[in-house]
Amino acid sequence: MSQPALPKYISFRGHGEIDFAAPLYATGDLLYAFALASDRVSVQTFVDATLAAPTNGAVTYRVLGNYVLLLFQHCGHFSSPNQIGWAEDHETAFMIPLIEKRPDSGAPIKLVLWMPYLMIDVGLGMVTGRDVWGYNKTLGSTTMPKSPNDPAIFNCQTLIFETFAPTTQARVDTLVEVARTDTAAPPAVAPASTDGSALLKAIATALGPWPLNWFEDIELAIDVLSLLRGMDVPVINLKQMRDTEQTHLAECQSLVEAMLQVTDFKGGGLLDGSYTVNIRKCDSHQIATDFGFPAANVKNGDFFSVPAKLGFWAQLGFNASPGTTVWKAT
């Protein structure tokens, strides 16, 4: 069945436009990541409710491994074909490795990434990310080292609701912070490598086997490196917009795949030392429940701590091309 022709997008360029067409070109990107041990049952419940449920089984996702990644990123320069200029941003995100399967198609299983939490400090990047690729981006400020040898100061502040109640006033406050807990002397990083595959291999080795429970009673060990093609990995998002008249319903809803294509890997390595991640418990960001982090005895408004299994950094450039619709509600 042929799809109806889409209407032309009416651009507000020159009138305060806050999004732009893909592709996006990014250079001068500095990324830090910390692997946090998670509970796969909790994460799978989160994934099923958000990504799989809308499709009624047309597309399924299984959590790969026992870790989620906490990312801090500074994009030094991003632009688009619209030739409007360039901007920079800082972002903080949580990322989950998944295996995608489409039971009713001949498509092979493949590795995808999902970022259910993503805070960015530039409205242009937030709105474009949501409108074009469906990222769940919200505004937030990120503090992070300017180079891997700087003091390890990581912090993200965003708008939070400590509890969901009519009397609760939203406030901007720290949601997550990372502190180095050992007293080792600088430098803070292991020797850098300009070989991206070597960095991926070091990460995979440090984290051990990547188990996948595809059936309730069968667990497989997946070779993550064999699923990667270079360093280009698709990111999956639930893209949707509320209906105007019935705002509890979605006017449009789809699963969208955004391919991040690494164009210029300048170097990266494992971070030396030990790190602890402190996360604020609050109703607006139920991170402990979503990832199965131990916070049962922590009251809302207080921090709970999760030790990082490892940390790593990378300097690179990438292109974000137009996405692909994996599934669309009809």
The residue ranges of every structural domain in the chain are: 24-146+187-271+306-328
- The answer, as to whether pTM is greater than 0.85, is yes
- Read off the pLDDT of residues 64-103 as tens digits, 9 standing for 90 and up: 999 999 999 999 999 988 788 999 999 999 999 999 998 7
CATH architecture, domain defined by 24-146+187-271+306-328? Beta Barrel (2.40)
- How confident is the model at residue 226, as a pLDDT? 62
Query: How many helices (H) and strands (E) would you count in the chain?
Result: 5, 16
Share of the chain above pLDDT 70, in %: 91
- Read off the pLDDT of residues 116-135 as tens digits, 9 standing for 90 and up: 999 999 999 999 999 999 99
List the one residue out of 70, 80, 168, 185 whose CA is nearest residue 119.
70
Intra-chain end-to-end CA distance of the chain, in Å:
12
Residue 115: half-sphere exposure toward Cβ, Cα within 13 Å? 23
> How does DSSP classify residue 115?
E
Share of the chain above pLDDT 90, in %: 65
Backbone angles phi, psi at 187, to 5 degrees: -75, 160
CA gap 199, 144 in Å, rounded = 21
- Read off the pLDDT of residues 186-213 as tens digits, 9 standing for 90 and up: 444 445 566 777 888 888 888 888 888 8
> How does DSSP classify residue 48?
I
Instruction: To the nearest 10°, report the CA torsion of 17, 20, 21, 26.
Output: 160
CA gap 100, 61 in Å, rounded = 5
Round the average pLDDT of the chain to a whole number and report it.
89
Scanning the chain, the segments in alpha helix (DSSP H) are: 40-47, 123-128, 196-207, 224-227, 287-291
- How confident is the model at residue 135, as a pLDDT? 96
Left if phi > 0, otherwise alpha if psi is -120 to 50, otherwise beta: which for 153?
A: beta
- Read off the pLDDT of residues 38-74 as tens digits, 9 standing for 90 and up: 999 999 999 999 999 999 989 999 999 999 999 999 9
Residue 177 pairs in a beta bridge with 155, 278
Question: For 222-226, what is the mean pLDDT?
Answer: 67
List the one residue out of 74, 128, 138 whose CA is nearest residue 285.
138
Assigned token pair, 29: 């990107």
The Cα-based distances of 14 to 11, 125, 251 in angstroms read 9, 17, 28
Q: Give one DSSP letter per residue of 142-194, joined into a string.
A: EE--SSTTS--EEEEEEEE-SS-STTPPPEEEEEEEEEE-S-PPSP-BPPPBS
Backbone angles phi, psi at 98, to 5 degrees: -135, 160
- How confident is the model at residue 193, as a pLDDT? 62
